[in-house]
Homo-oligomer: A and B are copies of this chain.
Amino acid sequence: MFQQLSDFHEWFKQRAEANTYQISVVALDQLDGWGFDGDSGNLSHRSGKFFSIEGIEVATDHREVPTWSQPIILQPEIGILGILVKSFAGVPHCLMQAKMEPGNINGLQISPTVQATRSNYTRVHGGSSVPYLEHFLAPRAGRVVFDSLQSEQGSWFLNKRNRNMIVAVDDDVEVRDDFCWLSVPQLRELVHAENIVNMDSRTVLSGMSFLTGDTGGGEALHTTHELLSWFTEVKARYRLDRQVIRLSEVKDWIRSSDRISHELELFFNVIGVSVRASNREVMSWSQPMFQPTCQGVIAFVTRWIKGVRHLLVHARTEPGTGDVVEMSPTVNCSPENYRGLGRDQQPPFLDFVLAAPPERILVDVVHSEEGGRFYHAENRYQLVEADEDFPLEVPPDFVWMTVSQLTSFVPYGNHVNVGARSLLTCITRRPDLEEAA
């Protein structure tokens, strides 16, 4: 345990020095074990394991353009993202891991106690090589505080879900190398530091209601029934048709020997990465990754309504999510991808967020997305305060809800998208966020 956060930073620096790794971008046709299928052009591992990159064709009446096709990651396995929690002197602490992922900006980031694939956790014979996994498999000794299937990035993954778990234990837990206990107050601080707490941690922590908490008493603008009705209405109103196609059939994308890119250099590139890491044992592998071409903006607009802080939630359609929409931040996009489109095709409220003066930006931190699939995929997470002039009347696919209302939908899965969950974790209890204006 760390008395002060500076002690953690010292430990984290030591972990970075103890673990050496080397990451190089390589051509897609030089990835060891990976290859393009002769017929379909799909990119997959020769073992059939891990994931594959195929194409998807999308038709919808709820995005800036009505149809497109794009490469997408298929990884049907449900993995476990689990955080072990234990109280020390009455303060809950999370067992976190300093973990290298090839796509991380800083190499090491803080990740959950366990990140395991289904292949790991269903392995009946030979035991598991994943430390602490036994705490997350039934029958388990601990108390499950949070356990639900959550969607990941719908613009890059097709129907990808991970099992997000928080398990509380009372027994002693051995702390292995690269692991540490961080108290909930310390994590609250840390999520405001750039590129330290990884996406997997942020999504799991969104299920920890004592971390995000509620924003005071008072009455919400809408009841939970009204919010569910709004969500139902938006799902029934819009259409999302998608079809998996061959990677070779994807239009407007160009495959060279090096990489796959959009012809206008927008959205993302599919690149190859080669990794050599020493984490007690020497490991090396190579894999394809998605590399976004620019930084994204993930922002909630917030305002006081009837003395309670509300967030402006968007029902957002993405090609790879399980249903037509999920609850999303007000803005969730990479602005540069829209530079060629007309004014009426710009995402709603993007102008408002980009023009916000610094004193109106209550949360402002750059985090990266999952470093195992996405290479240097950074988003700027913001909470932008609107004043009383900001309209209460919003477009039909937006709704105002309180922080605790949005948090209450998280446990049901497939309600709150990954951007919103990640941002919820950054909207931690702070007096200046809670006190009525």
Chain A residues near B (Cβ < 8 Å): 78, 80, 118, 138, 144-149, 163, 165, 225-226, 228-229, 232-233, 235-236, 322, 396, 411-413, 415
A235: B residues at CB distance < 8 A: 78, 149
From residue A262, how far is it (CB to closest CB) to chain B in Å?
Answer: 30
From residue A377, how far is it (CB to closest CB) to chain B in Å?
Answer: 26
Across the interface, do B149 and A229 meet the contact criterion of CB distance under 8 Å? no
A144-B226 CB under 8 A given contacts A149-B236, A236-B118, A413-B232: yes
Across the interface, do A228 and B411 meet the contact criterion of CB distance under 8 Å? yes
Across the interface, do A144 and B225 meet the contact criterion of CB distance under 8 Å? yes
Across the interface, do B232 and A149 meet the contact criterion of CB distance under 8 Å? yes
* Alpha-carbon gap, A147 to B228, bound state (A): 7
Across the interface, do B412 and A232 meet the contact criterion of CB distance under 8 Å? no
* Alpha-carbon gap, A225 to B410, bound state (A): 12
Kindly identify which residue among B146, B147, B232, B411 contacts A233, using a CB–CB cutoff of 8 Å.
B147
From residue A158, how far is it (CB to closest CB) to chain B in Å?
Answer: 14
* Alpha-carbon gap, A235 to B149, bound state (A): 9
Most buried by B among A145, A226, A413: A413
A228: B residues at CB distance < 8 A: 147-148, 411-412
* Alpha-carbon gap, A148 to B144, bound state (A): 28
* Alpha-carbon gap, A236 to B144, bound state (A): 15
A163: B residues at CB distance < 8 A: 232, 236
A138-B232 CB under 8 A given contacts A146-B225, A225-B147: no
- Chain B's closest residue to A79 (CB) is B236
* Alpha-carbon gap, A144 to B232, bound state (A): 12
* Alpha-carbon gap, A389 to B411, bound state (A): 34
A147-B412 CB under 8 A given contacts A236-B118, A396-B138: no
* Alpha-carbon gap, A413 to B324, bound state (A): 14
* Alpha-carbon gap, A162 to B229, bound state (A): 13
| Given A147-B233, A165-B229: 20 more A-B contacts, CB < 8 Å | A78-B235, A80-B236, A118-B236, A138-B233, A138-B396, A144-B225, A144-B229, A146-B225, A147-B225, A147-B228, A147-B229, A147-B232, A148-B228, A148-B229, A149-B232, A163-B232, A225-B411, A228-B411, A228-B412, A412-B415
